[in-house]
Structure 1
Amino acid sequence: MVELTLAMSVGMMVAAISLMLFNQQMSFLRIFRAQDFLVREAPLISNYMVRVIGSAEGYQLFSDMASLRSGDGAVLEDAKVLVLRFMESDGTERASVLSFEDPGGGLGPGLYYRLIPDSGVVGSPDWAISKEPADVTFAVEQGILRMTLSGPNGEELVYSGTQQL
């Protein structure tokens, strides 16, 4: 009887330790998933923003896509749309748009890129830079373009840059 009690006690301790390790692993995975945006998406967005803004000749901010399409005045803060102007090697200009919006069509909210064609008509997004951010705003502070990116878990990242002179 003593051997059976001892064997059952050891078995229960092994089961309790296994359950504790499983619970700890699940807690670690929850923490890891919460940091996923900072580890995976934020560096890619940063790399893209550094390259694109650094090569732009100029920019304008608009409160939303409707303001851009209607030609309403540009803003300096709380913008959801960034229009970037680039100079080609042959002296012509091209423009592109970065916007945080839900463009419809089942795409969902995200940070989208559009190339403005020669006709000047702004169409649907060419591709999504990221659909992970909860919010993105653009602003100009003391002549410096700032993009504030809010992550899905309340993270807040601020990217700053100026165009080349």
Structure 2
Amino acid sequence: MKRGQPISRRGFTLIELTLAIMIGLATASMTLLLMNQQLAFLRIYKAQDFLVREAPLINSYVTKVLGSAEGYRLYTDIDSLKGGGNPVLTGAKVLVLRYRLPSGGIKAAVLSFEDPGDDFDRGLYYRLLPDSGNIGTPEWAITKEPVDVTFSIEQGILRMRLTGPNGETITYSGTEQ
């Protein structure tokens, strides 16, 4: 090395390294903050999803099904209905609806909160009762989202209480035609 030539440095100074680490930490902390904020938003969205998306659909179906019913009976469960058990007023999982046909005859349908087995999951199901009286498998599921559905009659008013996946409770009320 000759005298008077500048010394070439390799690497970074301590100040440069400190600044790079500080910028990296600031970027990482902002990213973590944004991610936590997004996760909190998703938790809130998921908690309200049942109320916003599923509840209006359930309301629409139940209103149509109950709106044209002429009468109803409540049973504790589907086995009680199949076995000819006595109707109840509270704590029912099964609602039997009677409809008057234009010909003057009567048709019956069942709303039940159950796990019918086979390819079905626990949910609120609808089925028509055939004239033979045999109760078959559900025709369609109104919803599989609630963790509990109970029917009751309070002061002559039919109530259907749904408990959603996050503990939210919705109560539908109606009377006979």
Is the TM-score greater than 0.5? yes
Asked if 1:128 corresponds to 2:176, the answer is no
Aligned equivalent of 1:29: 42
Q: For 2:31, what is the secondary structure of its paired residue?
A: helix
Structure with greater contact order relative to length (CA < 8 Å, sep ≥ 6): 1
Aligned equivalent of 2:30: 17
Structure 2 CA distance for aligned equivalents of residues 162 and 6 of structure 1: 72
Structure 1 CA distance for aligned equivalents of residues 136 and 73 of structure 2: 18
Q: For 1:145, what is the secondary structure of its paired residue?
A: strand
Paired letter, 1:95: A
Percentage of matched positions with identical amino acids: 61
Aligned equivalent of 2:99: 86
Aligned equivalent of 1:95: 108
Asked if 1:48 corresponds to 2:58, the answer is no
Spell out the pairing of 1:109-120 with structure 2 (5 A cutoff).
109-120=122-133
Alignment partner for residue 156 of structure 2, among 124, 134, 143? 143
Structure 2 CA distance for aligned equivalents of residues 12 and 154 of structure 1: 40
Structure 2 CA distance for aligned equivalents of residues 106 and 30 of structure 1: 30
Aligned equivalent of 2:70: 57
Rg comparison, structure with higher value? 2
Post-superposition offset of 1:3: 4.2
Structure 1 CA distance for aligned equivalents of residues 24 and 79 of structure 2: 67
Runs of 4+ in structure 1 deviating by more than 6 angstroms, as ranges, are none
Q: For 1:125, what is the secondary structure of its paired residue?
A: coil
Structure 2 CA distance for aligned equivalents of residues 152 and 4 of structure 1: 51
Q: Supply the RMSD in Å over aligned alpha carbons.
A: 1.3
Structure 1 CA distance for aligned equivalents of residues 163 and 102 of structure 2: 36
Post-superposition offset of 1:106: 3.8
Aligned equivalent of 1:159: 172
Q: How many residues align?
A: 164
Q: For 1:76, what is the secondary structure of its paired residue?
A: coil
TM-score by length of 2: 0.87
Post-superposition offset of 1:113: 0.7
Structure 1 CA distance for aligned equivalents of residues 29 and 90 of structure 2: 56
Q: For 2:82, what is the secondary structure of its paired residue?
A: helix
Q: For 1:35, what is the secondary structure of its paired residue?
A: helix
Q: Structure 2, unaligned stretches of length 5 or more?
A: 1-12
Q: Structure 1, unaligned stretches of length 5 or more?
A: none
Post-superposition offset of 1:150: 0.8
